[in-house]
Structure 1
Amino acid sequence: MPAPTRFPPLTALSLFALLGLLQSLIWMALAFYLGAQCSWMALVLAVTATLSLRLGGMVPGRPRMLWAAGLTAIGVAWTSWGIVVLQMGVTMGVRPQESAVKMGWHLAKTLFLLANTPLDYALLALAVVGAAIASR
């Protein structure tokens, strides 16, 4: 096991980047296939953030809590953007890459707010807070 450090080592961040990207792609595909937001997948992303920082050798405490919550929030934001882009691209009949370039911040925010229910918001918030608590 590597010596504990105050900041996350590159291996922990690389592990989260790879696993988080894979999980976000699975989350986007699942949301598209089921026609729902599948916000429970945020909890899986929180577990990944927590485990990657723990196994990466970061010192327990407030910095690791903040890193886990931040990585989970970034993963949730990235995936939410991807779901909106994918749904808008299919609706408009363009590829997701073209939709991502053309979609503005205001439209993405509006679609995100319209697509999510209070349960979705609760699960997204629970994932961020749960990642912080689990990584302490």
Structure 2
Amino acid sequence: MPDHAIPPPRWYALPLLALGGAGFAAAWMLLALALNRQCSWLAPVAALDMALLLKLARWPAANSRRALAVAACAAVIGAANMLIAAGQIGQSFGLRPWESALKMGPSYAWLLAGMANGGIDLLFYAAALLVAWWAAR
């Protein structure tokens, strides 16, 4: 395929991916806090969402699209887990999740996420990374 046939990446693809990831992490946090569960089954859905956003933005179908989809999915999983932990801790102190997240350090968030996530949750997260890799082809 000639070089001129490959479209250049669109300028709005990365901001769209960041906005979509932040929105998905916020929605995941709200559902998890409402159900008082981790809702790790949302991780593969997040993977499909990140791959779809890159396809909608017409990011070239190459290894870069797969890498971006996997990285965005991992970021959504990490952000959602931190927000869920911040929301649960913040409830004890009368703080909103985003207020609590600003006061909570990364090591404390890692500790709480490690205690909250079990084997099934980790399987969902691993499956989500594979789904992101596959769906971004």
Place the TM-score, normalised by the shorter chain, in its bin.
0.7 to 0.9
- CA distance in structure 1 between the partners assigned to 2:126 and 2:10 by the alignment: 26
Q: Which runs of 5+ in 2 are unaligned?
A: 1-5
2:26 maps to 25
2:37 aligned with 1:58: no
1:19 maps to a residue whose letter is G
| Equivalenced residues, count | 132
1:120 maps to 121
Tell me which stretches of 4 or more aligned residues in structure 1 moved more than 4 Å. Answer: none
Alignment check: 8 A CA contact 2:82 2:109 kept: yes
TM-score of the pair, normalised by structure 1: 0.87
1:42 maps to 43
Structure 1 SS opposite 2:7? coil
1:11 maps to a residue whose letter is Y
2:15 maps to 14
CA RMSD of aligned residues (A): 1.7
Q: Which runs of 5+ in 1 are unaligned?
A: none
Alignment check: 8 A CA contact 2:83 2:98 kept: no
Q: Give the deviation of 1:11 after TM superposition.
A: 2.1
- CA distance in structure 1 between the partners assigned to 2:52 and 2:132 by the alignment: 9
1:4 maps to a residue whose letter is P
Instruction: State how 1:78-117 maps to structure 2 within 5 Å.
Output: 78-117=79-118
TM-score of the pair, normalised by structure 2: 0.86
Q: Which moved more, 1:91-100 or 1:102-111?
A: 91-100
Q: Deviations over 1:2-52 (max 9, x none)?
A: x623xx423222332333222221111100010100011111211111111
- CA distance in structure 2 between the partners assigned to 1:39 and 1:9 by the alignment: 31
Q: Sequence identity, in percent?
A: 36
- CA distance in structure 1 between the partners assigned to 2:107 and 2:46 by the alignment: 26
